[in-house]
């Protein structure tokens, strides 16, 4: 039986040769992402912005009248609504960011939600309310804060652990790779103005998890090779390590991709944002482990002495040959 091999044996791709242009591009992308986030902003869902969201299906229609809905809700006087298709063509999500004085007044916020639903229910016979979220400004502020703290705390602890288990350069490298992944994901969400909600935070966390896995596998091999080949030039050693783990990297990424694609293509609409985020992160995370996390070690200056091996493999073989062991 012949088994499938996604990556041929003994690849020898010179990843590190292109490290400067790739790094330059990545830095630019990171900068562009943050520029987008700060200028265009994120399309916060009600979780983070407060306000209310109504999700509905027009059971008898092929397509939901998005433009008409936008005008109708706007005339109710709660500011400009965000009306988006959501899943099927006949499903919509209507988001209204309530003015602060309404948002602070719980009863007014309630009345606004009822007002919108009742108006639409009377205007459209086939309007089926699928769900609604109503988040006060206070709670959404707390969500933003705890999400941020949780992310920062997790990233800091990850870097610390890698520093302890490997060396500080690896900790910095892993942190940079994670920063790269999170930045680019945020940039994408800002660019396409995809709704940014608590679910997306979960997606980002999953991305961090994947990317971290990748990075650690590569780092583990670098650590191993640093002990094994003490005389090798660092770029060559990094290339060797990445090539050795390439089959695994590709295999894992492809496996996860085939698991995610069905979810993306015909999974529930409510999962779309999250799965899209994870899929995006899969590419970004794999890229960053190979092109960011490893090359940065060249500049940070890792040496084989970092792991203070008392004796190398070569030493051991020499000893064996002399019959000392």
Partner 1 sequence: MLDFPTWRKVWLWLITGLCIAAALPSLLSATSVRWPDVLPDPMVNLGLDLAGGSHILLEADAAQVATQRLENMEENVRNTMRRAEPRIRIGDVSTRDGRLSFMLDDPGQVDRARELLLPSINGTGLVREWDLAVEDGNRMILTPTSEGIDQAVGDAMESATEVVRKRIDELGTREPTIIRQGDTRIVVQVPGLQDPDQLKALLGQTAKLEFKLVDQNALPSDVQQGLAPPGSEIFAYADTSAFAGSSLAVRRLGGIRGDNLTGAQQSFDPQTNEPVVNIQFDSDGGRRFAKLTTENVGKPFAIILDDTVLSAPNINEPIRGGTAQISGGFSVETANQLAISLRSGALPVDLAVIEERTVGPDLGADSIKRGMLAMLVGSLLVIALMIASYGRFGVYATVALVINVAMLLGIMAALNTTLTLPGIAGFVLTIGAAVDANVLINERIREERKRGRRVIAAVENGYKEASRAIYDANVTNFIAGVLLFLFGSGPIRGFAVVLIIGLFTSVFTAVTLTRMWVADWLRKSKPKDIVL
User: 70-99: which residues touch partner 1 (CB under 8 A)?
Assistant: none
Q: Which DSSP letter does residue 105 get? A: S
Is 108 a binding residue for partner 1 by CB under 8 A? The answer is no
Shortest approach of partner 1 to residue 81 CB, angstroms? 18
Of 66 and 150, the one with the shorter C-beta distance to partner 1 is: 150
**Binding segment toward partner 1, per CB under 8 A, in 24-32, 72-80, 93-101, 268-276:** 268-276
Of 210-239, binders to partner 1 (CB under 8 A) are: 210, 212-213, 216-217, 219-221, 224
* SS3 label, residue 138: helix
Number of H helices, E strands in the chain: 13, 6
Of 109-138, binders to partner 1 (CB under 8 A) are: 110, 114, 128-136, 138
Among 79, 209, 235, 309, which residue sits at the site for partner 1 (rule: CB under 8 A)? 209
- 219 Cβ contact partners less than 8 Å away, ≥ 6 residues apart: 162, 166, 170, 173, 174, 293
Shortest approach of partner 1 to residue 150 CB, angstroms? 4
Is 62 a binding residue for partner 1 by CB under 8 A? The answer is no
Query: In the numeric block, which tokens belong to residue 210?
Result: 């994947």
Cβ atoms of residues 147 and 201 within 8 Å: yes
Cβ atoms of residues 181 and 281 within 8 Å: yes
Shortest approach of partner 1 to residue 28 CB, angstroms? 28
Among 8, 9, 38, 62, which residue sits at the site for partner 1 (rule: CB under 8 A)? 9
**CA 214 from chain center: how many Å?**
14
Size of the site for partner 1 (CB under 8 A): 77
Cβ atoms of residues 284 and 30 within 8 Å: no
Among 65, 99, 248, 298, which residue sits at the site for partner 1 (rule: CB under 8 A)? 248
Residues 182, 200: Cα–Cα separation, whole Å: 11
């Amino acid at each position: 039986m012949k088994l499938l091999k996604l990556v041929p044996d003994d690849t020898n791709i010179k990843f590190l040769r292109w490290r400067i242009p790739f790094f330059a591009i990545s830095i630019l992308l990171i900068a562009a992402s943050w520029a987008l986030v700060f200028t265009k902003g994120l399309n916060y869902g009600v979780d983070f912005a407060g306000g209310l969201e109504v999700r509905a299906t027009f059971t008898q229609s092929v397509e939901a009248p998005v433009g008409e809905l936008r005008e109708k809700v706007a005339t109710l006087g709660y500011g400009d609504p965000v009306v988006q298709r959501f899943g099927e063509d006949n499903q919509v999500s209507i988001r209204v960011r309530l003015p602060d004085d309404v948002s602070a007044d719980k009863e007014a916020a309630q009345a606004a939600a009822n007002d919108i639903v009742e108006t639409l229910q009377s205007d459209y016979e086939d309007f089926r309310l699928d769900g609604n979220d109503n988040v006060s400004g206070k709670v959404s502020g707390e969500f933003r804060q705890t999400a941020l703290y949780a992310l920062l705390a997790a990233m800091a602890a990850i870097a610390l652990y890698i520093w302890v288990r490997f060396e500080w350069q690896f900790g910095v490298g892993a942190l940079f790779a994670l920063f790269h992944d999170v930045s680019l994901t945020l940039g994408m969400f800002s660019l396409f103005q995809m709704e940014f909600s608590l679910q997306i935070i979960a997606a980002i966390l999953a991305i961090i998890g994947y990317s971290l896995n990748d990075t650690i596998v590569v780092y583990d091999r670098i650590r191993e090779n640093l002990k094994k080949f003490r005389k090798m030039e660092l770029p060559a050693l990094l290339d060797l390590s990445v090539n050795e783990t390439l089959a695994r990297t590709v295999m894992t990424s492809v496996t996860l991709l085939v698991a995610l694609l069905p979810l993306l293509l015909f999974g529930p609409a409510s999962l779309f944002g999250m799965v899209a985020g994870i899929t995006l992160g899969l590419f970004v995370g794999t890229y960053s482990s190979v092109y960011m996390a490893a090359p940065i070690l060249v500049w940070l200056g890792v040496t084989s002495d970092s792991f203070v091996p008392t004796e190398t493999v070569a030493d051991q073989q020499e000893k064996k040959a002399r019959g000392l062991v």
